[in-house]
Structure 1
Amino acid sequence: MTEELAFIGIDEIPQSDSYRVLKDLFAGTIGGIAQVLVGQPFDTTKVRLQSDASGKYNGPLDVVKKLVKEEGPRAFYKGTLTPLVGVGACVSIQFAVNEYMKRSVFDINKGLTGPQYYTSGVVAGVANSILASPIEHVRSRLQTQIAGSLGPLQMIKKIYSTAGFTHGIMKGFLPTAIREGHGMGMYFLTFEYLVKRDITRNSIERKEVPGLRLCLYGAMSGYAMWLSVYPIDFIKSRIQTDSLETPKYKGIKDVVRTVFKEQGVKGFFKGFVPTILRAAPANAATFYAFEITIRALA
């Protein structure tokens, strides 16, 4: 590993700040809200494609046309309240745990290596999946209801009354944990690498990295994450939008076997285009909002 890849350097994080965790949580929440507001239309399109086992949609543009025609433009923001609150909490956990790992488990003042940044992200992702799984489950069902008009609380009650907590509310937890773990590892590793390279090449402090470049690095981090975890996200969506009363899939292996038999490898990349289109703006907004908020709270 070269010196650059080893990320040798010191982040400007005051270790004696007793409000550090609260600041990380708050900044993460702001980042999560920004992510939802920017990315929700893309996410709705993605979920509609991923859950489309009947072949109703021919592609992303077909989803957009049919949503606008049949349900109106507001349909792109179906289920927004749940992620607006939930994703804000999820991103706050991701960033707070990641920062804790960097500061307290590893010593950031001595400089972290690539594997250490990746490990910090993995722990943050797995911790976040406990909350992300039920939130995304509810959101997915809200996004895919066509004739229904259930709100978040009504949907939660329906899921719980039909299948209970473990097989209902927490349906799809394992693929969520796998996606979040590896995905967040790649996510934070990529961002930190790009920021450290910028700091080293331009001889500046982290707080001096321009907002435009923060957005660019956030966008690249989003690409790194989704390119490495998309198939497991597809599997998660199939499980979480499956029938609660008479489920078609028994678990991850069953989804893999069924989809591969019916559609081949390309079946696992259904909905990939809107996801990649979403990755840049949504994650640029997330990292930019987090970094700017942290600077304001310093």
Structure 2
Amino acid sequence: MAASAADVDSHDGQNAGLQTAKDLFSGAVGGIAQVLIGQPFDIVKVRLQTSTQYSSALTAAASIYKHEGALAFYKGTLTPLLGIGACVSIQFGAFHSARRFLEQRRAATDKSFIPGVSNLGYGEYYAAGAFAGVANSVISGPIEHVRIRLQAQPHGAGRLYSGPWDCVRKLSQQAGGVLPGLYRGEVVTVLREAQAYGLWFLAFEWLMNADAARNKIDRKEIPSYKIALYGGLAGEALWLGSYPLDVVKSKMQTDGFGAGQKYKSMRDCFAQTFRAEGMRGFWKGIGPTLLRAMPVSAGTFAVVEMTMRAIN
């Protein structure tokens, strides 16, 4: 994983700026892999979250395939393909920058702590991951908003947007500006990103450190298949710990504008969802999401690791 490669580089005395650039590049490559693997699962998740017409993930997938064709599973892919690479790049770059900062702070007060060798506390890993999530939300908010609009729109004659740029234009017109149009639901997006990526990186670091300690090896010696496995398990932790926030985000980002707006705020969306559907309403679509999380997260960490090893 990028963290172990970064540790090796720090021992070699490489410039922190160069290492951050490597983290960013590796994350971008991992982000592209993430989109290509996860997009079909994601469209099913969004349809389940934002509609009541499907009784299950299988029903939703079958309906999409029957009425819209196989290519419908890649609706709205252009936006995330261009943007998620940047998002994952920011996630890994911000996480490792925050991790190095926390290591230096620990080393200043604890002489036995060796940056790049000693492990941080898991609260610190969570904090570094949450920082990465918040940094990422600036880009991920509007990107996911456009993607969700494209995924949730009707098929055929009822189509609302001809593509991502048309979606951006119409959202800006309806909301009275680019920022209010694109950043709908940004508060809950920030909360979701902080919680999700705090747990994502925390789970991965715990699994990697535990493996290294159990087998008495350096982290860089952990084989790629284990990195993929631990990355996949981290993906499960990410969604189990943040899914209700994601449901509210999806509902707000498919809501109307003006007289057609159903939810006045994040709090109102939580309240209306609970009144209408109970706690179950906050977990609609969790099945395909968890199925998606394992290969997507595994692929992301594995590709980041392979890219980092190649450029090092």
If the length of structure 2 is used for normalisation, what is the TM-score?
0.89
Q: 1:261 aligns with which of 260, 271, 275?
A: 275
| 1:37 Cα deviation from its structure 2 partner | 0.7
The answer for the alignment partner of 2:293 in structure 1 is 279
Runs of 4+ displaced beyond 6 Å: none
Task: Please give the root-mean-square deviation of Cα atoms over the aligned residues, in Å.
Answer: 1.4
The answer for the alignment partner of 1:35 in structure 2 is 34
| 1:168 Cα deviation from its structure 2 partner | 1.1
The 5 Å alignment of 1:147-158 reads 147=155, 148=159, 150-158=162-170
The answer for the alignment partner of 2:108 in structure 1 is none
Contact 2:94 2:131 in 1 (8 A): yes
Q: Give distance in 1, aligned partners of 2:70 and 2:253.
A: 24
The answer for the alignment partner of 2:192 in structure 1 is 179
Contact 1:218 1:287 in 2 (8 A): yes
| 1:67 Cα deviation from its structure 2 partner | 0.4
The 5 Å alignment of 1:1-298 reads 11-14=7-10, 16-18=13-15, 19-52=18-51, 55-107=52-104, 108-109=115-116, 110-147=118-155, 148=159, 150-163=162-175, 164-245=177-258, 246-298=260-312
Aligned residues: 287
Identity across aligned pairs (percent)?
A: 45
Contact 2:102 2:124 in 1 (8 A): no
Contact 2:172 2:179 in 1 (8 A): no
* AA in 1 matched with 2:283: F
| 1:155 Cα deviation from its structure 2 partner | 0.8
Q: Give distance in 2, aligned partners of 1:293 and 1:132.
A: 23
* AA in 2 matched with 1:135: I
Structure 1: unaligned runs, 5 residues or longer: 1-9
Name the one with the larger helix percent.
Answer: 2
Contact 2:46 2:148 in 1 (8 A): yes
Contact 1:172 1:239 in 2 (8 A): yes
Q: Give distance in 2, aligned partners of 1:23 and 1:182.
A: 25
Deviates more, 1:277-286 or 1:252-261: 252-261
| 1:95 Cα deviation from its structure 2 partner | 0.4
Q: Give distance in 1, aligned partners of 2:9 and 2:211.
A: 17
Q: Give distance in 1, aligned partners of 2:143 and 2:207.
A: 30
